[in-house]
Amino acid sequence: MTDLTYEAVVQLLRTAGCVFAEDEAALLLQSAQSPAELAAMVDRRVAGEPLEVVVGWASFCGLRIEIDAGVFVPRLRTEFLVDEAARLVELVRLVLPSEEPVVVLDLCCGSGALGVALAETLDADVELYSVDVDPVAVACARRNVAPVDGVVFEGDLDAPLPDHLLGRVEVLLANVPYVPSRVIGSMPPEARLHEPRVTLDGGPDGLDVLRRVAELAPRWLVPGGHVFVETSESQADEACAAFEAAGLTARVAVDVDREATAVVGTLLPE
Ligand SMILES: C[S@@+](CC[C@H](N)C(=O)[O-])C[C@H]1O[C@@H](n2cnc3c(N)ncnc32)[C@H](O)[C@@H]1O
């Protein structure tokens, strides 16, 4: 077998339908430790595995986040949730200075990307707790949150959380699965075939898990604390209604460039 050149890799990727064939080829060449490994990586990519799984990491908020096979690849648009959370925490700390660590809870954490990115973004110390129901994601998240001393629990939403967090969470991040069940079949193969259904499927209208997060949020949030979820544009009003029904105030935030919609709920102090 002859060693693959950059041009050959670009050609193979382009034929397989990779839109950013040049960028991907450069990354694969950088990542492979040997010609044999490069050939194997190109084969996997051509067969449709997400690039991030093939190279083992994704870029998120400027960080290198490890991604194992079967773990949801953090999306660029989701950086908006982290930016919004950081902006609000910094605003609150400006008005009410505090030396206390910011308590952050990342539900449905997948690789753990959101929590670790927020911890790395904030100037303040952060106490980070993350949860995912999938043991493969939990193992991956544990490696990613280690540099910020985060703790990862395995289980259903807030079920595994310790009581000492009740009423203490300043930021609850929850990029839950929010794809309506009937839409999953028409998603791109990278997601449909390589990301487990539990990472995508939000039930009939996509909001089943989100509604559960809205219900549980007031128990864990400190008065004045915020919960941040991502939705599609068309789900945002329904998500606000779920937050309001749970006793939170709600607003929609949009980032046009990243095509991101976030719904931010706040537990108002009594
Ligand atoms: C859309 S992915 C988001 C992952 C990560 N937050 C991100 O943005 O990269 C949703 C994640 O929720 C997890 N999940 C789904 N249902 C859950 C539940 N009931 N409790 C905890 N985690 C859940 C999935 O395993 C998956 O990792």
Q: How far apart are CA 23 and CA 230, in angstroms?
A: 28
Residue 85 pLDDT exceeds 80: yes
Centre of ligand 1 to C-alpha 47, Å, is 25
> What's residue 1's pLDDT?
56
> How many Å lie between the centroid of ligand 1 and the Cα of residue 78?
13
Secondary structure E strands in 22-117:
57-60, 63-66, 102-107
> Which residues lie closer than 8 Å to 68 by C-beta, 6 or more apart?
53, 56, 111, 136, 139, 140
For residue 176, the CA-to-ligand 1 centroid distance in Å is: 5
Is 206 near ligand 1, meaning CB less than 6 Å away? no
pLDDT at 37 over 70: yes
- So where are the chain's domains? 6-66, 76-266
Cα(270) to ligand 1 centroid in Å equals 31
- In the DSSP assignment, the letter for residue 72 is P
| Mutation test residue for ligand 1: of 63, 73, 132, the one with most atoms within 8 Å of CB | 132
pLDDT of res. 84: 98
Fold that domain 76-266 belongs to in CATH: Rossmann fold (3.40.50)
Summary mean pLDDT of the chain:
96
Q: What is the pLDDT of residues 243-267, one digit of tens each?
A: 999 999 999 999 999 999 999 999 9
pLDDT of 118-174, one tens digit each? 999 999 999 999 999 999 999 999 999 999 999 999 999 999 999 999 999 999 999
**What angle, rounded to 10 degrees, do the helices at 113-121 and 135-145 form?**
20
Distance from C-alpha of 228 to C-alpha of 57, rounded to nearest angstrom = 24
- Which residue's CA lies nearest to atom 13 of ligand 1? 108
Residue-wise pLDDT for 204-230, tens only, equals: 999 999 999 999 999 999 999 999 999
Instruction: Identify the DSSP state of 67.
Output: -
Crossing angle (nearest 10°) for helices 35-46 and 6-15: 20
137 CB near ligand 1 (under 6 Å):
yes
**pLDDT for the residue numbered 119:** 98
Contact 252, 266 (CB under 8 A): no
Residue of 61, 76, 116, 176 best suited for mutating to test ligand 1, as the one with most atoms within 8 Å of CB: 176
Q: 209 CB under 6 A from ligand 1?
A: yes
Tokens for 44? 């996997």
pLDDT value of position 270: 79
> 3-state DSSP call for residue 109?
coil
* Closest residue to atom 24 of ligand 1, CA basis: 199
CA–CA separation, 160 and 131 (whole Å): 8
- Give the number of other Cβ atoms within 10 Å of residue 55's Cβ: 18
- Ligand 1 centroid vs 30 CA: distance in angstroms? 30
18, pLDDT greater than 80: yes
Q: What confidence score (pLDDT) does residue 187 get? A: 93
Task: State whether the beta carbon of 242 lies less than 6 angstroms from ligand 1.
Answer: no
Answer whether 54 contacts ligand 1 (Cβ < 6 A). Answer: no
The pLDDT score that the predictor gives to residue 87 is 97
Tokens of 133: 């129901």
**Does ligand 1 lie within 6 Å of residue 72's CB atom?**
yes
CA-CA-CA-CA torsion sign (152, 156, 162, 168): positive
Report the predicted TM-score, pTM, of the whole model to 2 decimal places.
Answer: 0.96
- Testing ligand 1's pocket by substitution, the residue of 60, 71, 108 carrying the most ligand atoms inside 8 A of its CB is 108
CB 234: neighbour CB atoms within 10 A? 11
